[in-house]
């Protein structure tokens, strides 16, 4: 089947597979079990997500592979999707690369996918660096869910030699000491973990927060790398 790429759309439209007139964005689960202060996804109630069968998903993967073989599974929280394992299998069976972007709260599901060789890259976001703040940041009262489980997921992926990216969202008074503390946590969880900094994306729900200036971010990172040479390249 011919792929028709429509300018301004998030992904190619696939004739006879996805052929409606709506904008298409591949999100494998529309909800999240966290309510993070810097994210507006869980607060949206005006977006209609269309379900897709596994058979149609297989056709989508088949037709997208010639355009690029890396598939990012995101959400919401993708591990809430009961068919996530099968979807990852479909991509891997067709020779694709699977990037799983998760909040890390469900280590049993993630480790099952890793053990089956279905995850090439795992991305997890640490929502806060201090236990007393983690519940407030995530909107979750269970510290095991939003801290212990997340650390377990990261450590397992690293120990399994899965390329692992740990993200820190920065905003307001982000400092060099905060980055050092972040790196210390990563060191404790594994040796082959990549560190990713995401500046705050402002939206109507987090208007009281502010992103960090590019100059400040650059200076902090450059100073950090000069003092932590083992993080150069990662």
Instruction: Tell me the per-residue pLDDT of 112-139, one tens digit each, with 9 for 90 and over.
Output: 999 999 999 999 988 888 877 888 888 8
Region of residue 164 (left: phi > 0; alpha: psi -120 to 50; beta: else): beta
> At residue 96, does pLDDT exceed 60?
yes
- What single string gives the DSSP state of each residue in 196-216? EEEE----TTSTT--PPPHHH
45-54, 68-77, 157-166, 214-223: least confident range: 45-54
Tokens of 215: 């100059």
Q: Which one is predicted more confidently, 227 or 34?
A: 227
Q: What is the mean pLDDT of residues 61-65?
A: 85
Average the pLDDT over 46-50 and give the result. Answer: 65
Distance CA 6, CA 3 (A): 10
Give pLDDT tens digits for 174-193.
Answer: 999 999 999 999 999 998 89
Per-residue pLDDT at 3: 37
- 208/165: higher pLDDT: 165
**Is residue 16 within 8 Å of residue 30, measured between CB atoms?**
no
């Amino acid at each position: 089947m011919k792929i028709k790429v429509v300018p301004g759309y998030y992904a190619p439209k696939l004739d006879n597979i996805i052929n409606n007139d709506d904008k298409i964005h591949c999100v494998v689960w529309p909800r999240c079990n966290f309510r993070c202060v810097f994210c507006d996804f869980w607060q949206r109630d005006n977006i209609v997500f269309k379900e897709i069968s596994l058979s149609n998903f297989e056709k989508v993967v088949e037709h997208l592979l010639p355009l690029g073989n890396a598939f990012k599974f995101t959400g919401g929280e993708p591990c809430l999707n009961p068919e996530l394992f099968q979807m990852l299998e479909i991509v891997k069976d067709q020779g694709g690369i699977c990037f799983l972007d998760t909040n890390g709260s469900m280590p049993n599901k993630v480790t099952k996918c890793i053990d089956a060789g279905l995850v090439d890259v795992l991305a997890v976001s640490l929502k806060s660096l201090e236990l007393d703040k983690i519940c407030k940041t995530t909107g979750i009262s269970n510290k095991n869910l939003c801290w212990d489980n997340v650390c377990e997921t990261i450590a397992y992926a690293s120990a399994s030699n899965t390329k692992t990216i740990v993200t820190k969202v920065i905003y307001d008074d982000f400092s060099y000491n905060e980055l050092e503390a972040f790196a210390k946590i990563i060191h404790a969880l594994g040796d082959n973990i990549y560190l990713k900094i995401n500046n705050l994306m402002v939206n109507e729900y987090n208007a009281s927060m502010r992103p960090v200036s590019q100059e400040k971010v650059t200076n902090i990172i450059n100073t950090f790398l000069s003092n932590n040479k083992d993080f150069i390249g990662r």
